[in-house]
Amino acid sequence: MNDIKTHQKWIEIIQERKKWPRYTQWSNHEFEIISREIEQLTGVYISRNTIRNVIEKVKTNDPNYNPQTATKNAFANYVGYNNWEKLGSEHKRTFSVSKALLAGLMISAIMLIIVFFILNFDKEKPTKETNNRNFTFKVENPRGTAPHTVKCKYDFSGLNTDDIEIDYRHIGPNGNYLLRKIHDKKGIQTQCFHFPGIYRFNLFINNKEAYDTLIVVYSRDWFIHASEARIQQVIVPEYVHKRGFFSPRRVLFDNILKKNITRNGYLHIPKQEINKIEGLSTNYNISVQNIQDYGIPARNSSLKVRFKNEDIGKRVHCYEALIMLQGENGNIEIKIAEEGCSQYTFLRVGSKVYSGKKNDIRFLEIDFSDFREIGIRSNEKEVSFFTEEKLLYTMQSEQDLGRLIGISLIFKNSPHLDYVELYNEGGDIIYSDYFQN
């Protein structure tokens, strides 16, 4: 079965039922509706980016495109079929309709269009603003290596409003929340993302989301920085808070740290280097991130990280460690803590969270004063978490997280990091760092 043809049939069913324009003209508005309705109907979350990707593959007639089975079955359920195979077989049967019948249907459709046009000729036509057809907004370079400047080209001359803004959902190095009001109806906006990371930003028109996109800023190696363990308050406009967006953690130029490899082969930031950071308290986090396209799905990967906490000779309340695999559409995360601190621990797979604040997960209380290996193994149906190859817990989830684009490790105080190993579905190492000089 040619999957791309079945995808095209799926799109055409939606196009017909929704009475939307041809799928080549769809935008984030349509992708968001499909994403939301699939989740409401099937319980499976599929991001608008995944749906956009399907459209692009159909446009280019890519015969090799083959999403995960769970994704395709959710697609089929959304349009009323039991599974993807059923939709595919129905697709084949549908194409056996005779040419005469097709010609008759086309003539009937033309007659209906003529009648519809006559009946609605004098009625007030809906504005293009309702389906986002009266403006253009394009991000030309959503991915690049830090420091990366994103360029947005726009033309809002067809909009009868001045309430237009870009919300970068990001805090700049100077501590300001990045929110840009658009005053010119046509032009270019640029924004520099100084540090590696995975960002999103939104376009709002009349305080309603009209567009969103993923911005990926790659690192050349491990990007390391220190921050307060307690999230610092940042001044954000009240109406931004009402949108439900959380303020991201602020990164300062002065808090960036050099990758330091010890003689015995560990990544470790000496205490004296951290003490040079002005204003940083003793209750701090060290973030170690490697943002790149690893070339595999986040849901078909395995990670091993071996580390221990720093012996600083001064008691720190609740040593913690957070290990993350970052996908385009969500993360896989495990946060462990020392004994007595399980309320701060959690497991995450995309939108599903198993938290120590609501559940008894004391198995995530782990002593890592000596070296421990924490592992994550993921496939299309479940994610398992390990320590020293001992199973801690398995979470059932079929949420598509997209391609793997980041590994992030966050520790309370500076760790000794021994190695990081990333495997593909077949068990082959596709990335590793043993921190040797």
Distance of alpha carbon 303 from its chain centroid, rounded? 18
Look at the chain and count its residues. 437
Q: How far apart are CA 336 and CA 347, in angstroms?
A: 9
Per-residue confidence (pLDDT) for residue 72, from 0 to 100: 87
Query: Amino acid letter at 311?
Result: D
pLDDT of residue 243: 59
Quick check: bond before 21 cis, omega within 30?
Answer: no
CA 261 to chain centre: 31
Residue 67 Rama label (left phi>0; alpha psi -120 to 50; beta): beta
β-sheet bridge partners, residue 224? 257, 288
pLDDT of residue 235: 60
Residue 238: the pLDDT is 65
**pLDDT more than 90, % of the chain:** 37
Is the Cβ–Cβ distance between 202 and 191 less than 8 Å? no
Q: What CA dihedral angle connects 423, 425, 430 and 431, to 10 degrees?
A: -30
> What type of residue sits at position 71?
T
Span 399-410, pLDDT tens digits: 899 999 999 999
Cis peptide before 147 (omega within 30 of 0): yes
Strands 143-145 and 208-218 turn out to be: parallel
Residue 132 reports pLDDT greater than 70 = no
**Rounded mean pLDDT, 28-40:** 80
Q: What is the CA radius of gyration of the chain?
A: 25
Q: What is the mean pLDDT of residues 139-158?
A: 91
| The pairing of beta strand 256-257 with beta strand 223-228 | antiparallel
Q: Give the pTM.
A: 0.68
Averaged pLDDT for residues 258-265: 91
Looking at residue 129, its pLDDT comes to: 32
Which SS3 state, helix, strand or coil, does residue 316 take? coil
pLDDT at 168 over 90: no
DSSP string, 241-291: HHTTPPPPPP--GGGEE---B-TTS-B---HHHHTTSTT--SSEEEEEEEE
* CA 381 to chain CA centroid, nearest Å: 18
**What DSSP character marks residue 353?**
E
Q: State the first-to-last Cα distance of the chain, in angstroms, to the nearest integer.
A: 52
- Which CATH topology does 129-217 take? Immunoglobulin-like (2.60.40)
235-433, what's its fold? Jelly Rolls (2.60.120)
pLDDT averaged over the chain? 82
Q: How many Å separate Cα 124 from the centre of its chain?
A: 40
Average pLDDT over residues 22-50: 80
Do 129-217 and 235-433 show the same overall fold? no
Kindly report, residue by residue over 83-92, the tens digit of the pLDDT. Answer: 888 888 765 5
Whether residue 158 has pLDDT greater than 60: yes
The residue ranking higher by pLDDT, 285 or 281, is 285
Q: Which of 127-131, 262-266, 314-318 has the lowest mean pLDDT?
A: 127-131
Residue of higher predicted confidence among 293 and 84: 293
Domains of the chain, residue spans: 3-94, 129-217, 235-433
Residue 92, helix vs strand vs coil: helix
Which of these ranges, 228-242, 270-284, 358-372, 387-401, has the smallest mean pLDDT? 228-242
Mean local confidence (pLDDT), 185-195: 90
Evaluated on CA atoms 358, 363, 364, 368, the torsion sign reads positive
pLDDT tens digits along 329-387: 999 999 999 999 999 999 999 989 999 999 999 999 999 889 999 999 999 899 999 99
pLDDT at 120 over 70: no
